[in-house]
Structure 1
């Protein structure tokens, strides 16, 4: 079971919940986002921005609730630069201390025993906490949304830097703090997501490559393999029982 919907009060954020059926590995693709997570087995966690796909393992019946924060928003919520969380899964208590312990206690009441509304109750708590942290921080840095939108639309790093009034090196430094990596890496990841959305919609891979800004289908295949760890045909193959 996996469900997601738009979060309330946090632009472009997504709340989601899942229950692991058979257990085993799950390939999590990079997306430029940071996630605030709760697992019935591991508790409250922060998933940092990944440069390549991560393979995670869940136990059968494990419940997950997450709040996926769009590129550039996570640092204002978690209170640390995104690059400090890059390619990491960190217990929330390592960042928030006592506040994380108190949040875990709220989760215990809301999600145990797992009734029909455990996912909604838990996701609402995550939203409330994230909104409060954003208010306390004065909101996310507006540069993050602007840069991510321009790169997602296919703008070059140089053009994006000029548009926001920064030099390329300055944009790189700001991007590491906001996204966890430089704008070139973020652009590759956003292009991958755009290409996969097209492919999952039934667009042939050769056309996907052209429409997503790759030189050709071979370029698309190389990029998918490097970022996702497997070729497009395997990544897009329907799941088997």
Structure 2
């Protein structure tokens, strides 16, 4: 019951979920932050995860979410990403409660609720001057499989400066972001039918055992369990 579409905001995704049955669902780390409306809990912010987040809820609960590309969330929410790391926070804890209450009503009654979230996020980004320009090239370098040192050098940053900026933008340092992005590449190949040994070789793991350890560390379950229906 999961659907998504590209947002009009560069790099963002609008997604919707309606729970067909009660029970937990696994959301894998992706370096992103999300603005989420829940029919049960209202407006929430999902911070950047370092491990899989196991979400639970009743059957019939609806969600509408706007997932920002890595590094964009801080400009929307108004605080560094590391303050939201591995957390789910009511939006009213970050923005004035009257603003959040009005937004929740608009989302709940809208025919296209994702567009309401997009409009609010676009206004926040415009007021803040847009995302930090470092976020996109840093993410692109690491997503392409470049090591942290090479990526930092290409951006003209020293290791400590890069680490500080990464904490603010992504919620964790560049090495953790690189691990998460590599896992995303590996899972995409595995879900397309690529054998695990080949996945490991193509995505820079030492061997299949190394891939298996990273999957368990970041996702909390074996690779074979993730090749069926999964979180985002």
TM-score by length of 1: 0.93
Offset, 1:107: 2.1
2:17 matched to which residue of 1?
Answer: 18
Q: Secondary structure at the match of 1:58?
A: coil
Q: Which deviates more from structure 2 when the two are superposed, residues 96-105 or residues 129-138?
A: 96-105
- 2:201 matched to 1:226? no
- 2:226 matched to 1:235? yes
1:139 matched to which residue of 2?
Answer: 130
Which whole-Å deviations, capped at 9, do the CAs of 1:2-57 have from their partners, x for residues lacking one?
Answer: 1101001x111000111100120001100000000000000000000000001110
CA distance in 2, matches of 1:126, 1:237: 30
CA distance in 2, matches of 1:100, 1:44: 7
Offset, 1:99: 1.8
Offset, 1:84: 0.4
**Contact 2:39 2:108 (8 Å CA) reproduced:** no
Which whole-Å deviations, capped at 9, do the CAs of 1:151-210 have from their partners, x for residues lacking one?
Answer: 000111111111111101110000000000000000000000000000000100000001
1:161 matched to which residue of 2?
Answer: 152
2:30 matched to which residue of 1?
Answer: 31
1:114 matched to which residue of 2?
Answer: none
Which 5+ residue runs of structure 1 have no aligned equivalent? 111-116
Q: Secondary structure at the match of 2:94?
A: helix
CA distance in 1, matches of 2:198, 2:103: 47
Offset, 1:231: 1.0
CA distance in 1, matches of 2:229, 2:69: 27
- Name the CA shift for 1:208/1:133 in 2 (closer, same or farther; >3 Å): same
- 2:43 matched to 1:48? no
Q: Which of residues 148, 154, 160 in structure 1 aligns to 2:139? A: 148
**Contact 2:107 2:117 (8 Å CA) reproduced:** no
Which 5+ residue runs of structure 2 have no aligned equivalent? none
CA distance in 2, matches of 1:109, 1:154: 43
1:173 matched to which residue of 2?
Answer: 164
Q: CA RMSD in A?
A: 1.0
Q: Secondary structure at the match of 1:3?
A: strand
Q: Which deviates more from structure 2 when the two are superposed, residues 76-85 or residues 96-105?
A: 96-105
CA distance in 2, matches of 1:237, 1:230: 12
Offset, 1:105: 2.2
- Name the CA shift for 1:125/1:74 in 2 (closer, same or farther; >3 Å): same
- 2:174 matched to 1:183? yes
CA distance in 1, matches of 2:127, 2:105: 22
- Name the CA shift for 1:125/1:157 in 2 (closer, same or farther; >3 Å): same
